Amino acid sequence: MKLIFEKSRPGRRAAHLPSHEGLAAPEVPSELRRSRPPRLPEVPEVELVRHFTELTSRNFGIDTGFYPLGSCTMKYNPRVNERVAALPGFRDLHPHQSEAGSQGALELMHELQEMLAEITGLDAVSLQPAAGSQGELTGLMLMRAYFADRGESEKRRKIVVADTAHGTNPASVTMAGYELVKVDTDARGNIDLDDLRAKVDDETAGLMLTNPSTLGLFDEHIEEIARIFHGSGALLYYDGANLNAVCGISRPGDMGFDIVHINLHKTFSQPHGGGGPGGGPIAVRRELEPYLPVPAVIPDGKRFRLDYDRPKSIGKVRAFTGPFGVFVRSYAFMLAWGRELRTMSEDAVLNANYLLARLKEAYDLPYDRLCMHEFVLSARTLKREHGASALDVAKRLMDYGFHPPTIYFPLIVSGALMIEPTESEPKEELDAFCDAMIAIAQECEERPELVRSAPHTTPVRRLDEARAARNPVLKWIRVSS
- Identify residues 186-205 at the interface with another protein (CB under 8 A): none
Dihedral angle, C-alpha 109, 113, 118, 121, nearest 10 °: 170
In the complex, least distance from residue 188 CB atom to another protein, rounded to whole angstroms: 9
CA distance 373 to 352: 5
Chain centroid to CA 105: how far?
A: 24
| Size of residue set near another protein by CB under 8 A | 202
User: In this structure, how many other beta carbons lie within 10 angstroms of the beta carbon of residue 334?
Assistant: 21
In the complex, least distance from residue 207 CB atom to another protein, rounded to whole angstroms: 15
Q: Does 9 bind another protein (CB under 8 A)?
A: no
Compare residues 112 and 382 and give the one whose CB is closer to another protein.
112
Q: Which of 309, 312, 316 is nearest to 128 (CA)?
A: 316
Q: For 265, which DSSP code?
A: T
Half-sphere exposure of 434 (CA within 13 A, CB side): 20
Compare residues 308 and 385 and give the one whose CB is closer to another protein.
308
In the complex, least distance from residue 142 CB atom to another protein, rounded to whole angstroms: 11
CA distance 283 to 244: 16
Among 53, 301, 479, 480, binds another protein (CB under 8 A): 53
Largest pairwise CA distance in the chain: 79
Among 202, 249, 307, 449, binds another protein (CB under 8 A): 249
Which segment (173-181, 193-201, 228-236, 444-452) binds another protein by CB under 8 A? 173-181
DSSP H helices, 262-340, are 324-337
Compare residues 82 and 123 and give the one whose CB is closer to another protein.
82
CA distance 123 to 285: 5
**Subset of 340-399 contacting another protein (CB under 8 A):** 340-344, 346-347, 349-351, 353-354, 356-358, 369-370, 394-395, 398
Q: What SS3 class is residue 471?
A: coil
**Subset of 76-115 contacting another protein (CB under 8 A):** 76-78, 80, 82-98, 100-105, 107-108, 115
CA distance 323 to 241: 18
**Subset of 280-299 contacting another protein (CB under 8 A):** 293
CA distance 162 to 184: 6
Q: Does 311 bind another protein (CB under 8 A)?
A: no
In the complex, least distance from residue 435 CB atom to another protein, rounded to whole angstroms: 14
Q: Are 382 and 444 in contact (CB under 8 A)?
A: yes
Which segment (197-205, 213-221, 281-289, 377-385) binds another protein by CB under 8 A? 213-221
In the complex, least distance from residue 156 CB atom to another protein, rounded to whole angstroms: 14
State how far the alpha carbon of 216 is from the alpha carbons of 226, 376, 377, 422, in Å.
20, 7, 11, 12
Q: For 268, which DSSP code?
A: T
Compare residues 305 and 445 and give the one whose CB is closer to another protein.
305
**Subset of 452-471 contacting another protein (CB under 8 A):** 453, 455, 458-465, 467-469
* Cis peptide preceding 38, ω within 30 of 0: no
Compare residues 337 and 378 and give the one whose CB is closer to another protein.
337
CA distance 231 to 233: 6
Compare residues 96 and 384 and give the one whose CB is closer to another protein.
96
Q: Are 352 and 373 in contact (CB under 8 A)?
A: yes
Which segment (127-135, 193-201, 283-291, 439-447) binds another protein by CB under 8 A? 127-135
Q: Does 231 bind another protein (CB under 8 A)?
A: no
- The mark string for 405-444 relative to another protein (x by CB under 8 A, - otherwise) is -x--x-------------xxxxx-----------------
**Subset of 318-337 contacting another protein (CB under 8 A):** 318-326, 328, 331-332, 334-337
